[in-house]
Structure 1
Amino acid sequence: MILVFVAGLFLGVLLNLVIIRLPLERNSVGGWPRCTRTGQPLAWWQLLPLVGWLLQRGKASNGKALHWVYPLVEMLTAVTITWLYATYGLSWFYGYLVFITSILIVTGAIDWLHRFIYTFVVLGAVVLALGATLLLPDLNIAHAGMGALVAGGVFILLFLLAQFLFPARSAPFGLGDVYLGIFIGAAVGLPHLAPSLFYGVLMAGFVAVLIVIGKYLLRRRDLPEYLSYGTYLCLGVIVYLLTHDIRG
Protein backbone atom coordinates (compact mmCIF):
# COMPACT_ATOMS: atom_id res chain seq x y z
CA MET A 1 0.00 0.00 0.00
CA ILE A 2 2.88 2.36 0.80
CA LEU A 3 4.38 1.71 -2.64
CA VAL A 4 1.05 2.58 -4.27
CA PHE A 5 0.89 5.83 -2.30
CA VAL A 6 4.45 6.76 -3.34
CA ALA A 7 3.62 5.89 -6.95
CA GLY A 8 0.59 8.17 -6.64
CA LEU A 9 2.77 11.04 -5.46
CA PHE A 10 5.02 10.69 -8.51
CA LEU A 11 1.98 10.38 -10.77
CA GLY A 12 0.88 13.68 -9.23
CA VAL A 13 4.20 15.20 -10.31
CA LEU A 14 3.51 14.10 -13.90
CA LEU A 15 -0.01 15.52 -13.74
CA ASN A 16 1.43 18.81 -12.48
CA LEU A 17 3.71 18.95 -15.52
CA VAL A 18 0.63 18.67 -17.75
CA ILE A 19 -1.26 21.24 -15.64
CA ILE A 20 1.63 23.71 -15.93
CA ARG A 21 2.60 23.18 -19.56
CA LEU A 22 -0.75 22.89 -21.33
CA PRO A 23 -1.71 26.53 -20.66
CA LEU A 24 1.77 27.58 -21.80
CA GLU A 25 1.21 25.65 -25.06
CA ARG A 26 4.36 23.62 -24.54
CA ASN A 27 4.95 19.96 -25.18
CA SER A 28 3.43 18.33 -22.10
CA VAL A 29 6.04 15.60 -21.90
CA GLY A 30 9.26 16.99 -23.39
CA GLY A 31 11.97 19.17 -21.87
CA TRP A 32 13.23 19.54 -18.33
CA PRO A 33 10.68 21.10 -15.93
CA ARG A 34 11.12 24.77 -15.05
CA CYS A 35 10.01 26.88 -12.11
CA THR A 36 6.63 28.53 -12.72
CA ARG A 37 7.88 31.75 -11.07
CA THR A 38 11.46 32.19 -12.29
CA GLY A 39 11.52 30.10 -15.47
CA GLN A 40 14.75 28.44 -14.32
CA PRO A 41 15.27 24.66 -14.65
CA LEU A 42 14.30 22.84 -11.47
CA ALA A 43 16.84 20.89 -9.43
CA TRP A 44 16.12 17.19 -8.99
CA TRP A 45 15.13 17.64 -5.35
CA GLN A 46 12.60 20.32 -6.28
CA LEU A 47 10.74 17.70 -8.30
CA LEU A 48 10.27 15.42 -5.32
CA PRO A 49 6.53 15.26 -4.59
CA LEU A 50 5.53 17.35 -1.57
CA VAL A 51 9.11 17.29 -0.25
CA GLY A 52 10.36 19.68 -2.94
CA TRP A 53 7.61 22.18 -2.17
CA LEU A 54 8.19 21.93 1.59
CA LEU A 55 11.97 22.30 1.29
CA GLN A 56 11.39 25.51 -0.65
CA ARG A 57 8.90 26.58 2.03
CA GLY A 58 6.38 27.20 -0.70
CA LYS A 59 8.50 29.91 -2.33
CA ALA A 60 10.59 30.21 -5.49
CA SER A 61 14.20 31.41 -5.45
CA ASN A 62 13.02 34.98 -6.15
CA GLY A 63 10.78 34.96 -3.08
CA LYS A 64 7.47 34.63 -4.93
CA ALA A 65 5.00 32.13 -3.51
CA LEU A 66 4.56 28.81 -5.30
CA HIS A 67 0.93 27.95 -5.87
CA TRP A 68 -0.62 25.64 -3.29
CA VAL A 69 -2.50 23.79 -6.04
CA TYR A 70 0.60 21.81 -7.05
CA PRO A 71 1.26 20.00 -3.74
CA LEU A 72 -2.50 19.52 -3.41
CA VAL A 73 -2.56 17.76 -6.80
CA GLU A 74 0.22 15.41 -5.68
CA MET A 75 -1.49 14.57 -2.40
CA LEU A 76 -4.94 14.19 -3.98
CA THR A 77 -3.55 11.88 -6.66
CA ALA A 78 -1.74 9.72 -4.11
CA VAL A 79 -4.74 9.43 -1.80
CA THR A 80 -7.10 8.71 -4.69
CA ILE A 81 -5.16 5.90 -6.35
CA THR A 82 -4.32 4.33 -2.98
CA TRP A 83 -7.97 4.40 -1.94
CA LEU A 84 -9.04 2.88 -5.25
CA TYR A 85 -6.32 0.22 -4.98
CA ALA A 86 -7.52 -0.73 -1.49
CA THR A 87 -11.04 -1.09 -2.90
CA TYR A 88 -10.48 -2.84 -6.23
CA GLY A 89 -6.94 -4.22 -6.13
CA LEU A 90 -4.66 -4.34 -9.14
CA SER A 91 -6.95 -4.85 -12.14
CA TRP A 92 -7.87 -3.38 -15.51
CA PHE A 93 -10.87 -1.70 -13.91
CA TYR A 94 -8.54 -0.11 -11.36
CA GLY A 95 -6.42 1.20 -14.25
CA TYR A 96 -9.56 2.63 -15.83
CA LEU A 97 -10.43 4.49 -12.63
CA VAL A 98 -6.88 5.84 -12.32
CA PHE A 99 -7.18 7.18 -15.87
CA ILE A 100 -10.57 8.78 -15.18
CA THR A 101 -9.46 10.43 -11.95
CA SER A 102 -6.24 11.68 -13.59
CA ILE A 103 -8.26 13.44 -16.29
CA LEU A 104 -10.52 14.94 -13.63
CA ILE A 105 -7.59 16.18 -11.54
CA VAL A 106 -5.84 17.79 -14.52
CA THR A 107 -9.05 19.39 -15.81
CA GLY A 108 -10.13 20.62 -12.40
CA ALA A 109 -6.73 22.14 -11.59
CA ILE A 110 -6.42 23.94 -14.93
CA ASP A 111 -9.95 25.31 -14.63
CA TRP A 112 -9.14 26.59 -11.13
CA LEU A 113 -5.89 28.23 -12.23
CA HIS A 114 -6.86 29.52 -15.68
CA ARG A 115 -10.67 29.37 -16.00
CA PHE A 116 -10.30 27.13 -19.03
CA ILE A 117 -11.18 23.53 -19.93
CA TYR A 118 -9.27 21.94 -22.79
CA THR A 119 -11.64 20.48 -25.36
CA PHE A 120 -9.15 18.02 -26.82
CA VAL A 121 -8.37 16.64 -23.35
CA VAL A 122 -11.94 15.93 -22.24
CA LEU A 123 -13.30 14.87 -25.65
CA GLY A 124 -10.26 12.66 -26.21
CA ALA A 125 -10.96 11.13 -22.81
CA VAL A 126 -14.59 10.56 -23.87
CA VAL A 127 -13.41 8.45 -26.81
CA LEU A 128 -11.07 6.45 -24.57
CA ALA A 129 -13.75 5.97 -21.91
CA LEU A 130 -16.23 4.68 -24.49
CA GLY A 131 -13.55 2.44 -25.97
CA ALA A 132 -12.80 1.01 -22.54
CA THR A 133 -16.40 -0.14 -22.20
CA LEU A 134 -15.85 -2.43 -25.19
CA LEU A 135 -12.79 -4.02 -23.58
CA LEU A 136 -13.69 -4.24 -19.90
CA PRO A 137 -16.51 -6.58 -18.84
CA ASP A 138 -17.08 -4.44 -15.72
CA LEU A 139 -18.35 -1.57 -17.88
CA ASN A 140 -21.50 -1.18 -19.99
CA ILE A 141 -21.31 0.53 -23.39
CA ALA A 142 -25.03 1.36 -23.37
CA HIS A 143 -24.80 3.04 -19.96
CA ALA A 144 -21.71 4.99 -21.01
CA GLY A 145 -23.21 6.12 -24.32
CA MET A 146 -26.51 7.17 -22.75
CA GLY A 147 -24.64 8.90 -19.94
CA ALA A 148 -22.68 10.97 -22.44
CA LEU A 149 -25.80 11.87 -24.44
CA VAL A 150 -27.94 12.80 -21.45
CA ALA A 151 -25.16 14.81 -19.81
CA GLY A 152 -24.46 16.58 -23.08
CA GLY A 153 -28.11 17.50 -23.53
CA VAL A 154 -28.55 18.78 -19.98
CA PHE A 155 -25.31 20.75 -20.01
CA ILE A 156 -26.09 22.33 -23.38
CA LEU A 157 -29.39 23.58 -21.94
CA LEU A 158 -27.51 25.01 -18.96
CA PHE A 159 -25.03 26.66 -21.32
CA LEU A 160 -27.83 28.28 -23.35
CA LEU A 161 -29.54 29.43 -20.16
CA ALA A 162 -26.29 31.01 -18.93
CA GLN A 163 -25.85 32.81 -22.26
CA PHE A 164 -29.40 34.16 -21.99
CA LEU A 165 -29.05 35.31 -18.38
CA PHE A 166 -25.60 36.87 -18.80
CA PRO A 167 -25.58 38.30 -22.36
CA ALA A 168 -23.37 41.30 -21.62
CA ARG A 169 -20.56 39.58 -19.74
CA SER A 170 -18.74 36.32 -19.45
CA ALA A 171 -21.23 33.58 -18.60
CA PRO A 172 -20.46 31.45 -15.54
CA PHE A 173 -21.11 28.28 -17.54
CA GLY A 174 -19.16 27.73 -20.76
CA LEU A 175 -18.81 25.18 -23.53
CA GLY A 176 -15.89 23.63 -21.67
CA ASP A 177 -18.32 22.66 -18.92
CA VAL A 178 -20.55 21.03 -21.55
CA TYR A 179 -17.66 18.90 -22.80
CA LEU A 180 -16.70 18.05 -19.23
CA GLY A 181 -20.27 16.93 -18.58
CA ILE A 182 -20.15 14.63 -21.62
CA PHE A 183 -16.92 13.09 -20.31
CA ILE A 184 -18.40 12.55 -16.85
CA GLY A 185 -21.46 10.89 -18.37
CA ALA A 186 -19.33 8.56 -20.47
CA ALA A 187 -17.00 7.79 -17.57
CA VAL A 188 -19.55 6.91 -14.88
CA GLY A 189 -22.51 5.81 -17.03
CA LEU A 190 -26.14 6.90 -16.95
CA PRO A 191 -27.12 5.14 -13.67
CA HIS A 192 -24.42 7.06 -11.78
CA LEU A 193 -24.60 10.37 -13.65
CA ALA A 194 -27.03 12.31 -11.46
CA PRO A 195 -25.60 11.30 -8.06
CA SER A 196 -22.00 11.89 -9.17
CA LEU A 197 -22.88 15.38 -10.44
CA PHE A 198 -24.80 16.12 -7.24
CA TYR A 199 -21.61 16.03 -5.18
CA GLY A 200 -19.98 18.71 -7.32
CA VAL A 201 -23.10 20.86 -7.51
CA LEU A 202 -23.43 20.68 -3.73
CA MET A 203 -19.82 21.77 -3.20
CA ALA A 204 -20.09 24.61 -5.73
CA GLY A 205 -23.35 25.80 -4.20
CA PHE A 206 -21.87 25.81 -0.71
CA VAL A 207 -18.87 27.86 -1.83
CA ALA A 208 -21.12 30.24 -3.79
CA VAL A 209 -23.19 30.90 -0.65
CA LEU A 210 -20.02 31.62 1.33
CA ILE A 211 -18.87 34.08 -1.36
CA VAL A 212 -22.22 35.87 -1.36
CA ILE A 213 -22.19 36.12 2.44
CA GLY A 214 -18.62 37.39 2.41
CA LYS A 215 -19.23 39.99 -0.29
CA TYR A 216 -22.57 41.42 0.70
CA LEU A 217 -22.82 40.82 4.44
CA LEU A 218 -19.20 40.98 5.57
CA ARG A 219 -18.16 43.50 2.87
CA ARG A 220 -15.11 41.48 1.88
CA ARG A 221 -13.58 42.88 -1.32
CA ASP A 222 -10.88 40.24 -1.73
CA LEU A 223 -13.25 37.41 -2.63
CA PRO A 224 -13.36 36.10 -6.23
CA GLU A 225 -16.05 37.09 -8.71
CA TYR A 226 -15.69 33.83 -10.62
CA LEU A 227 -16.55 30.32 -9.45
CA SER A 228 -14.57 27.54 -11.13
CA TYR A 229 -17.61 25.35 -11.67
CA GLY A 230 -15.68 22.69 -13.57
CA THR A 231 -13.29 22.24 -10.66
CA TYR A 232 -16.11 21.41 -8.28
CA LEU A 233 -17.69 19.01 -10.77
CA CYS A 234 -14.36 17.19 -11.06
CA LEU A 235 -13.91 16.99 -7.29
CA GLY A 236 -17.47 15.79 -6.86
CA VAL A 237 -17.02 12.93 -9.32
CA ILE A 238 -13.75 11.91 -7.64
CA VAL A 239 -15.51 11.76 -4.27
CA TYR A 240 -18.28 9.68 -5.85
CA LEU A 241 -15.81 7.24 -7.43
CA LEU A 242 -14.11 6.78 -4.06
CA THR A 243 -17.38 5.95 -2.32
CA HIS A 244 -19.43 4.12 -4.96
CA ASP A 245 -18.91 1.15 -7.27
CA ILE A 246 -19.74 2.10 -10.88
CA ARG A 247 -19.28 -1.38 -12.36
CA GLY A 248 -22.11 -2.89 -14.34
Structure 2
Amino acid sequence: MEALGTLPAFILVFLLGSAIGSFLNVVVYRIPEGLSIFWPPSRCPKCGYRLKATENIPILGWLRLRGRCSNCRQPISVRYPLVETVTGLLFLLIYWQFGLSVVQTVGYWALFSWLLALALIDIDTMTLPNALTKSGLVLGIVFQGVMAGIPGIIGAVTGAVLGIWLFDLVTLGGSLAFGQAAMGGGDAKLAAMMGAWLGWQLLLLAGFLACLLGAVGGTVAIALGWLSRRQPMPFGPFLALGTAIAALWGEWIVSTYLQFFFS
Protein backbone atom coordinates (compact mmCIF):
# COMPACT_ATOMS: atom_id res chain seq x y z
CA MET A 1 0.00 0.00 0.00
CA GLU A 2 2.86 2.36 0.78
CA ALA A 3 4.31 1.77 -2.70
CA LEU A 4 0.90 2.40 -4.28
CA GLY A 5 0.63 5.62 -2.30
CA THR A 6 3.83 6.92 -3.84
CA LEU A 7 2.99 5.77 -7.37
CA PRO A 8 1.35 9.08 -8.46
CA ALA A 9 4.43 10.97 -7.25
CA PHE A 10 6.75 8.68 -9.22
CA ILE A 11 4.61 9.11 -12.34
CA LEU A 12 4.68 12.90 -12.00
CA VAL A 13 8.45 12.87 -11.47
CA PHE A 14 8.95 10.72 -14.57
CA LEU A 15 6.72 13.00 -16.65
CA LEU A 16 8.63 16.05 -15.43
CA GLY A 17 11.94 14.37 -16.24
CA SER A 18 10.82 13.37 -19.73
CA ALA A 19 9.68 16.95 -20.40
CA ILE A 20 13.08 18.24 -19.30
CA GLY A 21 14.62 15.58 -21.55
CA SER A 22 12.65 16.99 -24.47
CA PHE A 23 14.15 20.40 -23.74
CA LEU A 24 17.62 18.85 -23.44
CA ASN A 25 17.25 17.53 -26.99
CA VAL A 26 16.82 21.14 -28.09
CA VAL A 27 19.83 22.25 -26.03
CA VAL A 28 22.05 19.50 -27.43
CA TYR A 29 21.14 20.35 -31.03
CA ARG A 30 21.09 24.15 -30.87
CA ILE A 31 23.92 25.24 -28.57
CA PRO A 32 26.71 23.81 -30.78
CA GLU A 33 25.04 25.50 -33.75
CA GLY A 34 24.95 28.85 -31.96
CA LEU A 35 21.15 28.96 -32.08
CA SER A 36 18.66 30.19 -29.49
CA ILE A 37 17.34 27.41 -27.27
CA PHE A 38 14.03 29.23 -26.82
CA TRP A 39 13.09 30.38 -30.33
CA PRO A 40 11.85 29.19 -32.76
CA PRO A 41 9.70 26.45 -31.19
CA SER A 42 10.50 22.77 -31.82
CA ARG A 43 10.61 21.87 -35.50
CA CYS A 44 11.71 19.11 -37.83
CA PRO A 45 15.50 19.33 -38.31
CA LYS A 46 15.09 18.21 -41.95
CA CYS A 47 12.33 20.43 -43.38
CA GLY A 48 11.82 23.01 -40.63
CA TYR A 49 8.16 22.07 -40.09
CA ARG A 50 6.92 23.42 -36.74
CA LEU A 51 5.70 20.58 -34.56
CA LYS A 52 2.14 20.69 -33.29
CA ALA A 53 1.49 20.42 -29.56
CA THR A 54 0.34 16.80 -29.86
CA GLU A 55 3.44 15.92 -31.88
CA ASN A 56 5.74 17.47 -29.28
CA ILE A 57 4.61 15.35 -26.31
CA PRO A 58 7.71 13.63 -24.84
CA ILE A 59 8.11 9.99 -25.92
CA LEU A 60 4.47 9.63 -27.00
CA GLY A 61 4.79 12.24 -29.75
CA TRP A 62 7.60 10.27 -31.44
CA LEU A 63 5.64 7.02 -31.07
CA ARG A 64 2.50 8.65 -32.47
CA LEU A 65 4.46 9.84 -35.52
CA ARG A 66 6.10 6.40 -35.81
CA GLY A 67 9.48 8.09 -35.88
CA ARG A 68 8.79 10.20 -38.99
CA CYS A 69 8.02 13.86 -39.61
CA SER A 70 4.34 14.30 -40.46
CA ASN A 71 5.26 16.87 -43.12
CA CYS A 72 8.29 15.53 -45.03
CA ARG A 73 8.11 11.90 -43.77
CA GLN A 74 11.86 11.87 -43.09
CA PRO A 75 12.99 9.73 -40.12
CA ILE A 76 13.28 11.41 -36.72
CA SER A 77 16.19 10.01 -34.73
CA VAL A 78 15.28 7.49 -32.03
CA ARG A 79 17.66 9.39 -29.76
CA TYR A 80 14.94 11.95 -29.07
CA PRO A 81 12.61 9.59 -27.15
CA LEU A 82 15.62 7.77 -25.67
CA VAL A 83 16.95 11.00 -24.12
CA GLU A 84 13.47 11.81 -22.81
CA THR A 85 13.14 8.33 -21.29
CA VAL A 86 16.62 8.36 -19.75
CA THR A 87 16.04 11.81 -18.25
CA GLY A 88 12.75 10.65 -16.76
CA LEU A 89 14.47 7.61 -15.23
CA LEU A 90 17.30 9.76 -13.84
CA PHE A 91 14.76 12.08 -12.22
CA LEU A 92 13.09 9.02 -10.69
CA LEU A 93 16.42 7.71 -9.39
CA ILE A 94 17.26 11.04 -7.75
CA TYR A 95 13.76 11.32 -6.25
CA TRP A 96 14.02 7.77 -4.92
CA GLN A 97 17.43 8.58 -3.42
CA PHE A 98 16.63 11.94 -1.81
CA GLY A 99 12.83 12.02 -1.66
CA LEU A 100 11.29 15.25 -0.42
CA SER A 101 14.61 16.88 0.42
CA VAL A 102 13.61 19.63 -2.00
CA VAL A 103 16.90 21.51 -2.37
CA GLN A 104 18.96 18.36 -2.84
CA THR A 105 16.45 16.70 -5.17
CA VAL A 106 15.92 19.74 -7.38
CA GLY A 107 19.64 20.54 -7.28
CA TYR A 108 20.63 17.10 -8.52
CA TRP A 109 17.89 17.18 -11.15
CA ALA A 110 19.65 20.29 -12.47
CA LEU A 111 23.13 18.73 -12.18
CA PHE A 112 22.16 15.56 -14.01
CA SER A 113 20.42 17.56 -16.75
CA TRP A 114 23.61 19.58 -17.30
CA LEU A 115 25.73 16.41 -17.28
CA LEU A 116 23.52 14.63 -19.81
CA ALA A 117 23.49 17.61 -22.18
CA LEU A 118 27.28 18.00 -21.95
CA ALA A 119 27.88 14.27 -22.49
CA LEU A 120 25.71 14.20 -25.62
CA ILE A 121 27.25 17.36 -27.07
CA ASP A 122 30.73 15.95 -26.49
CA ILE A 123 29.76 12.73 -28.28
CA ASP A 124 28.37 14.72 -31.21
CA THR A 125 30.97 17.47 -31.56
CA MET A 126 33.98 16.62 -29.31
CA THR A 127 33.36 19.93 -27.52
CA LEU A 128 32.04 20.99 -24.11
CA PRO A 129 30.41 24.42 -24.56
CA ASN A 130 31.43 27.18 -22.14
CA ALA A 131 27.79 28.22 -21.86
CA LEU A 132 26.99 24.96 -20.08
CA THR A 133 30.18 24.40 -18.07
CA LYS A 134 30.24 27.97 -16.74
CA SER A 135 26.54 28.10 -15.89
CA GLY A 136 26.84 24.64 -14.28
CA LEU A 137 29.78 25.91 -12.20
CA VAL A 138 27.76 28.90 -10.94
CA LEU A 139 24.79 26.66 -10.13
CA GLY A 140 27.08 24.32 -8.18
CA ILE A 141 28.39 27.18 -6.03
CA VAL A 142 24.83 28.42 -5.41
CA PHE A 143 23.70 24.87 -4.56
CA GLN A 144 26.48 24.40 -2.00
CA GLY A 145 25.75 27.83 -0.55
CA VAL A 146 22.08 26.98 -0.05
CA MET A 147 22.98 23.58 1.42
CA ALA A 148 25.75 24.67 3.80
CA GLY A 149 26.09 28.47 3.79
CA ILE A 150 29.51 30.12 3.63
CA PRO A 151 31.44 26.88 4.32
CA GLY A 152 29.59 25.30 1.39
CA ILE A 153 30.56 28.17 -0.93
CA ILE A 154 34.20 27.92 0.18
CA GLY A 155 34.15 24.16 -0.41
CA ALA A 156 32.60 24.62 -3.86
CA VAL A 157 35.18 27.23 -4.91
CA THR A 158 38.00 25.05 -3.56
CA GLY A 159 36.67 22.05 -5.48
CA ALA A 160 36.31 24.10 -8.67
CA VAL A 161 39.87 25.46 -8.47
CA LEU A 162 41.28 22.00 -7.72
CA GLY A 163 39.32 20.53 -10.61
CA ILE A 164 40.61 22.92 -13.24
CA TRP A 165 44.21 22.81 -11.92
CA LEU A 166 44.24 19.03 -11.68
CA PHE A 167 42.96 18.49 -15.20
CA ASP A 168 45.22 21.17 -16.63
CA LEU A 169 48.15 19.28 -15.09
CA VAL A 170 46.89 16.01 -16.58
CA THR A 171 46.59 17.68 -20.00
CA LEU A 172 50.11 19.10 -19.74
CA GLY A 173 51.55 15.76 -18.58
CA GLY A 174 49.80 13.88 -21.38
CA SER A 175 51.07 16.34 -23.97
CA LEU A 176 54.65 15.96 -22.76
CA ALA A 177 54.43 12.16 -22.50
CA PHE A 178 52.57 11.35 -25.72
CA GLY A 179 53.26 14.35 -27.93
CA GLN A 180 49.56 15.17 -28.29
CA ALA A 181 46.82 16.65 -26.13
CA ALA A 182 45.57 14.12 -23.59
CA MET A 183 42.38 16.14 -22.92
CA GLY A 184 40.55 19.07 -24.41
CA GLY A 185 40.27 22.42 -22.66
CA GLY A 186 36.59 21.79 -22.05
CA ASP A 187 37.38 18.79 -19.85
CA ALA A 188 39.16 21.01 -17.30
CA LYS A 189 36.20 23.41 -17.26
CA LEU A 190 33.84 20.49 -16.72
CA ALA A 191 36.12 19.32 -13.89
CA ALA A 192 35.75 22.77 -12.29
CA MET A 193 31.99 22.40 -12.51
CA MET A 194 32.26 18.92 -10.97
CA GLY A 195 34.34 20.28 -8.10
CA ALA A 196 31.79 23.01 -7.38
CA TRP A 197 28.98 20.48 -7.07
CA LEU A 198 30.88 17.67 -5.33
CA GLY A 199 33.61 19.33 -3.25
CA TRP A 200 37.25 18.34 -3.52
CA GLN A 201 36.97 14.88 -1.93
CA LEU A 202 34.18 13.56 -4.14
CA LEU A 203 35.78 15.35 -7.11
CA LEU A 204 38.81 13.08 -6.70
CA LEU A 205 36.54 10.04 -6.59
CA ALA A 206 34.61 11.19 -9.67
CA GLY A 207 37.86 11.83 -11.55
CA PHE A 208 39.18 8.39 -10.63
CA LEU A 209 35.95 6.72 -11.73
CA ALA A 210 35.95 8.69 -15.00
CA CYS A 211 39.52 7.63 -15.78
CA LEU A 212 38.73 4.00 -14.92
CA LEU A 213 35.58 3.96 -17.04
CA GLY A 214 37.34 5.81 -19.85
CA ALA A 215 40.21 3.32 -19.86
CA VAL A 216 37.82 0.39 -20.01
CA GLY A 217 35.66 2.05 -22.66
CA GLY A 218 38.67 3.02 -24.77
CA THR A 219 40.15 -0.47 -24.57
CA VAL A 220 36.87 -2.06 -25.63
CA ALA A 221 36.43 0.46 -28.48
CA ILE A 222 39.96 -0.23 -29.78
CA ALA A 223 39.47 -3.99 -29.47
CA LEU A 224 36.23 -3.77 -31.48
CA GLY A 225 37.83 -1.56 -34.12
CA TRP A 226 35.69 1.47 -33.33
CA LEU A 227 38.76 3.59 -32.52
CA SER A 228 42.42 3.58 -33.48
CA ARG A 229 45.04 3.84 -30.74
CA ARG A 230 45.76 7.54 -31.32
CA GLN A 231 42.25 8.60 -32.28
CA PRO A 232 40.69 11.17 -29.90
CA MET A 233 37.79 9.93 -27.79
CA PRO A 234 35.24 12.17 -26.04
CA PHE A 235 36.00 12.09 -22.31
CA GLY A 236 33.02 14.22 -21.25
CA PRO A 237 30.60 11.27 -21.03
CA PHE A 238 32.95 9.45 -18.63
CA LEU A 239 33.37 12.58 -16.51
CA ALA A 240 29.59 12.94 -16.42
CA LEU A 241 29.13 9.29 -15.41
CA GLY A 242 31.82 9.53 -12.73
CA THR A 243 30.16 12.67 -11.36
CA ALA A 244 26.73 11.02 -11.30
CA ILE A 245 28.06 7.99 -9.39
CA ALA A 246 29.95 10.19 -6.92
CA ALA A 247 26.91 12.43 -6.37
CA LEU A 248 24.57 9.53 -5.62
CA TRP A 249 26.83 7.03 -3.89
CA GLY A 250 30.16 8.78 -3.32
CA GLU A 251 29.90 9.08 0.46
CA TRP A 252 29.09 5.37 0.74
CA ILE A 253 31.94 4.40 -1.63
CA VAL A 254 34.49 6.48 0.31
CA SER A 255 33.34 5.27 3.74
CA THR A 256 33.30 1.65 2.55
CA TYR A 257 36.83 2.01 1.16
CA LEU A 258 38.16 3.57 4.37
CA GLN A 259 36.43 0.98 6.51
CA PHE A 260 37.74 -1.91 4.43
CA PHE A 261 41.38 -0.78 4.23
CA PHE A 262 41.90 1.21 7.42
CA SER A 263 39.62 -0.31 10.06
Please state which band the TM-score falls in when normalised by the shorter chain. 0.7 to 0.9
2:190 corresponds to 1:180: yes
1:163 and 1:84 map into 2 onto residues whose CA distance is 38
Query: How big is the shift at 1:131?
Result: 2.5
Does residue 51 of the first structure (1) align with residue 60 of the second (2)? yes
TM-score (norm 1): 0.84
User: How far apart, CA to CA, are the structure 2 residues paired with 1:245 and 1:80?
Assistant: 19
Does residue 100 (structure 1) correspond to residue 114 (structure 2)? The answer is no
User: What does residue 239 of structure 1 align with?
Assistant: 245
C-alpha distance after superposition, 1:77-117 (max 9, x if no partner): 11111111122223112111111111111111111111111
**1:84 and 2:94 aligned:** yes
- Identify which of 105, 112, 137 aligns with 1:126: 137
* Alignment root-mean-square deviation, CA: 2.7
Q: Secondary structure at the match of 1:140?
A: helix
Distance 2:87 2:156 in 1: 24
Q: List gaps (5 residues or longer) in structure 2.
A: 1-9, 253-263
Name stretches of at least 5 consecutive residues in structure 1 with no aligned partner: none
Give the Cα separation in 1 of the matches to 2:109 and 2:227.
39
So what's the TM-score if we normalise by structure 2? Answer: 0.80
1:110 matched residue in structure 2: 121
Would you say how many aligned residue pairs link Structure 1 and Structure 2? 239
Which structure is larger by alpha-carbon Rg, 1 or 2? 2
Q: 1:69 touches 1:109 (CA, 8 Å); kept in 2?
A: no
Distance 1:156 1:93, change over 3 A: same
1:126-185 CA distance string (max 9 Å, x none):
122112322223882333222112211110012223444344xxx351100110011001
Residue type of the partner of 1:178? A
Match of 1:35 in 2: 44
Which amino acid in the other structure matches residue 31 of structure 2? Answer: L
Counterpart residue number, 1:155: 167
SS at match of 1:136: helix
- CA distance in structure 1 between the aligned counterparts of 2:78 and 2:215, rounded to whole angstroms: 23
Q: Distance in 1 between matches of 2:202 and 2:53?
A: 42
* Aligned-residue identity in percent: 25
Alpha-carbon distance in structure 2 between the residues aligned to 1:51 and 1:201: 37
Greater fraction helix: 2
Counterpart-to-counterpart distance in 1, 2:231 and 2:62: 29
- Equivalence for 2:212: 202
